[in-house]
Structure formats: C-alpha cells, structure tokens
Amino acid sequence: MSAPTTHDDGSNVAPSTAGALGTVPDGAAAPLVGGDTTAPVAPTRRLGGRWIDDWDPEDETFWHDGGKKIANRNLWISIFAEFLGFAVWGMWSIVVPQLASAGFAFTTDQLFWLIAAPSLVGATLRIPYTFAVPVFGGRNWTIVSALLLLIPTAALAIVVQNPDTSFGVMLAVAALAGFGGGNFASSMANISFFYPEREKGKALGLNAAGGNIGSAAVQFAVPIVIAVGAGVALERAGLMMIPFILLAAFLAWRFMDNLGTAKADPRAWGVAVRDKHTWIISFLYIGTFGSFIGYAGAFPLLLKNEFPEMALSIAFMGALVGSVTRPLGGILADRLGGARITIWSYAAMGIGAVGAIQAIRTDSFWLFFGSFMFLFVATGIGNGSVYRMIPAVFRTTAGRRTAGQDDGAVRAARSAAAKAAAGCIGIAGSVGAFGGFLIPRGFAASNTLGGSIIPALVVFIGVYVVMAVVCWSVYLRGSSVMGAAKV
C-alpha cells in the first residue's frame, strides 16, 4: 500500500499510485491502488479539513513510506494538548491552598470540595470524549477540546479576584476544570487509531505520561507566577494558561489530521460493558490512577494544613514522580506480568500510607513527604501495569473460548477481543478517574469526623488490601485461568 494522502478542504481521497505525500485537487478523481484509473473515487465532503481516509499502519510499506511520520506528528501535538488538559484539570489543586492568602474564608470541607469537583466532572466526561473522535475527527476534536479549556481558565481568573465570591459560584467554576480531565480519553482514543499494534503501547504510554506531567507542571508554575510582584495575584493561574491553549489549538489546526478510518464500534463497547473483567479492572484502576489523581489533587492542601511552614513550591513533586514512573509500570508488567506488578503496587501504596500516618503522629515533615513520594511512585507503576493487563486479559479470554477451533474462528475471536479491550480501556479510564473525587472527599470526611486525615488513610490501606486480594484471586492465583496465563 502507498503512503496516505491528505486533502485540506475535507475531501475524501484514496492514496496516489506514486506513494508520495501530497494533496489532490478538489473534485479530481483519485486513482485506485495499483494504478487502475478506470474506476475513479468520488470525493466526499466532510466536516473540517485534513482528512485521511486510507490509513493502514499495519502495512509495513505504508508505515515506512510516510505513515509513521504523520502518526508521530499527530502524537506530539496530542501530547501537548493533553498536557494542557491535565494542567487545567489540576489547576484548582494548587489554587485552593492559597485562597486564604487572597482573602477567601472557606472551611476545610469546602476547600476539599473545590479540589474534588474537577475530578468528578472530568471522570464523567471521559466516555463522551472518547466517542467524539470518530464523530468529529481527531484533529477537529483536539481543536475544540483545547479551546474549551479557555472557559475554566478565564472563569478562574475572574472569580478569584473577588474574595466575596460565594462558595457556590466558586464550586461551579472549579467544576468547569473538568473539561481538562475529559481530554485524556479523546487524546488516547485518537492516537490509538494512528499506530500499529506493535508500536501502540509505546505511543499510548508517551501520550499518557506526557499528559500526566501537566498536573505537576501547573503545581510547579502557579506558586511562582502568582507571587511575582506584590501580594498574591491568583488570577494569573488562569491567565497564564490562555496563550498555551491558543497555541495548542493552532498547532492542531495546522498540523494534525483526521482519520476517516477511526470508527466508533458500539458493539465492542457493548461487549466490554457485559464482560465482568471490564468492571474488575475498572475497580483495580480506581486504586492506581484514582489514587494518583486524588493524591495529586489533595497533596498541596494536605501539605499546607499539616506543615504550614513549608513552601508549597515542592508540592508538584508528587504529581511529577507519579507521572514519570507510569511507563516503568508497563515495562515491568511486560517482563513480570501485569497482575504481579499491580499487587506489588498496592502493597507499596499501603506502606506509603502507613508512613504518612506515622509522620502525622510524630510531626515529621520529611517522613510525611518521603512517604507520599513513595506512594506516588507506586501509583504511577500501578497505572502502567493495570493498563498492560487489559489486552492480556481479553486475549486470554478469547483463547479459552476458541480452544480447539479452526484458525478463522481464532482470528475472529482475537479481533473481537482487541475491540473489547479498547472499550474496557475507555470505561476503566473513566471509572478510575472517580478516585480523584473519592480521595479528597475521604480526607474531608476524615477531618470533619475524626479531626485528622489519619482515619481516611487507614480506610485507604484497607481498600488497597481488598484490591490486592481481588487482583490475586482473579488474575494471579495459579489455579485460575488468568493466573495460568500470567496476565
């Protein structure tokens, strides 16, 4: 197969026989593959421009003749847009601890609500964002989803300038930051269509890790930007994002592509919804990604409440180490098995939580900080290992169902398993993100009822134990089908 051909005005064209990248004039008949021009392909009008309708990354000739270059170009712009999405999603995590300095008088419970609201909205938006790519096109939706980030950033810049702003208004504006949380799902779905199976894991790992780092970047930058000059200018937290958002939208418009082959498969999602493993894995992902996004959101406020003498500028370290260790989880899972690494991650998260409890009891900042860094590393590794488990679980299930059948049945089952795994990834990504709401609200309830975050940490440890047991019994126990397959 020859290299793909794009058409900037939205026409649907087949690849040229020469195999060179280029455009075909509007309305011109494009030759069929193989040079036969006797049956022209009529262009079809589509929403927006830069559509590629003949995309086959599994064809090595196609891939090396230009497909890989196009895929990588789309990947790096997608990473930048997703990076900004995570930054906007995590913006309130670093703004909230500094509201008192700007004259706001909210209770601890209200502050945790402001941190939790973006995660609740972002988690809810992830599934519709996933389906937006096949409907609107990956390039088009990247432009739209980037521009939507202007709403929460501009709104934040307005409301934080008035200390008399009601809590209800502040909560509504904080919830708007959930637009950034939805970006992950559409970005991952879009990039998955560009890459062959043999390179998809690496591409999605880079995309996920690059996006996750946005949480750390915003926690690092905001304390610096708002403190330039006299006083605390919290509005700059929103304003500083606007030029980068506009740049991301421009880059997507100018350099990204829509794939006509990116089709939504509701049947695959239906299969995933009905499969018990989708919900087991989603439960496990709450413990890994949910812990990452929940702790990342709450950590600056925890640091401010427990050790007010320490500078908030170090709070970004948690989100950073959790982001950069995510690919490590996938690498370790490839070598040792995803279930085994996931269980170790839960054990490590439990140890980190125990250390944090001891640090609070002894008023030890360095033990507190070190325990949370250890905990963040464990969440990052667990994120990578759980995602690696998904295709292995569905592939194993398909193999068991087709044991002894002919090659055609096996191939069909594997294809269906791959589609169901894709549906599971979308569902688990959405369900797991609700941990970003549950953990801050858990800390709030613990403070209200117990006067400390220690009861919440004890509960979290218990949940990690339950998750580890579930993971072991279903996916690692030697007598189980999954355990024998070492998923």
Nearest residue to 123 (alpha-carbon basis) of 438, 349, 370:
438
CATH of 265-487, one of 3.10.450.50, 1.20.1250.20, 2.120.10.30, 3.40.50.2020: 1.20.1250.20
- Residue 14 φ then ψ, to 5°: -85, 165
Nearest residue to 101 (alpha-carbon basis) of 225, 216, 233:
233
CA gap 421, 435 in Å, rounded: 21
pLDDT confidence of residue 4: 61
How many residues are there in the chain?
487
pLDDT confidence of residue 17: 30
**Per-residue tokens: 11:** 């026409």
pLDDT confidence of residue 242: 97
CA gap 364, 322 in Å, rounded: 22
The model's pLDDT over 58-71, given as tens digits with 9 standing for 90+, comes to 889 999 988 999 99
**Residue 234 CB burial class (10 angstroms; 0-12, 13-18, ≥19):** buried
Task: Report the 3 state secondary structure along 304-318.
Answer: HHHCCCCCHHHCHHH
354 close to 461: Cβ distance less than 8 angstroms? yes
pLDDT confidence of residue 40: 41
pLDDT confidence of residue 2: 55
pLDDT under 70 in the chain at which residues? 1-49, 229-230, 403-404, 479-481, 483-486
Q: Residue 258: in which H helix or E strand, if any?
A: strand 258-259
CATH superfamily of 63-263: MFS general substrate transporter like domains (1.20.1250.20)
49 close to 8: Cβ distance less than 8 angstroms? yes
Torsion angle in degrees (nearest 10) through CA of 238, 241, 245, 251: 170
CATH 1.20.1250.20: which residues of the chain?
63-263, 265-487
**Per-residue tokens: 388:** 């690696």
**Residue 113 DSSP SS3:** helix
Alpha helices in 402-480 (DSSP H): 407-433, 435-450, 454-471
pLDDT confidence of residue 210: 86
